Amino acid sequence: MKICLRYLGDPGYQQGIGQELGVSQATVSRTVDRVVNYQPWQSIYTFPTAIGVIDCTHIGILKPNRHGNEYINLKGKPTLNVQATCDAREMFTSVDVSWPGSVHDSRIWRNSQTRSQLINKANLYYLAMTVLVLNHALQKSYSRCRNKLS
């Protein structure tokens, strides 16, 4: 999903996007094609209690005059750290664009409305990358599926 979001946010050259994200141009192409042409991930990966996927991505911005250093991410660029969730139809179910780039993904998750809505729901999960702190509402995606969920 991150690859597709990056491509759709700024549809430049797939090879450049691949280099930026550490994947091949072919992976970018296949990922964008799979998401845009829709293939439900629940039918592919058999996670029956997964209600969606979640990830964070950095969106480049101009450095604000006020509190500008808070927006500098680990790569030294001013960004917003955006958390997004998608359902099995690969439709966005939530997007949070309120966090500066210096904030870690796990802090965004801990403070998200999405997490608070799942606190008392048993057996419902979001598939997530390992960077998020796992708890009852997150399930680590299997590493063999990593590229398929990207």
Q: What is the mean pLDDT of residues 104-130?
A: 79
Co-location of 63 and 127 in the same domain: yes
Co-location of 137 and 73 in the same domain: yes
Co-location of 4 and 45 in the same domain: no
Longest dimension (CA), the chain: 47
Q: How many domains does the chain have?
A: 2
Co-location of 27 and 46 in the same domain: no
Co-location of 30 and 75 in the same domain: no
Co-location of 65 and 9 in the same domain: no
* Residue 139 Cα to chain centre, angstroms: 14
Co-location of 94 and 139 in the same domain: yes
The pLDDT tens digits for 45-77 are 666 667 788 889 999 999 999 999 999 999 999
Range of the domain at 15: 1-37
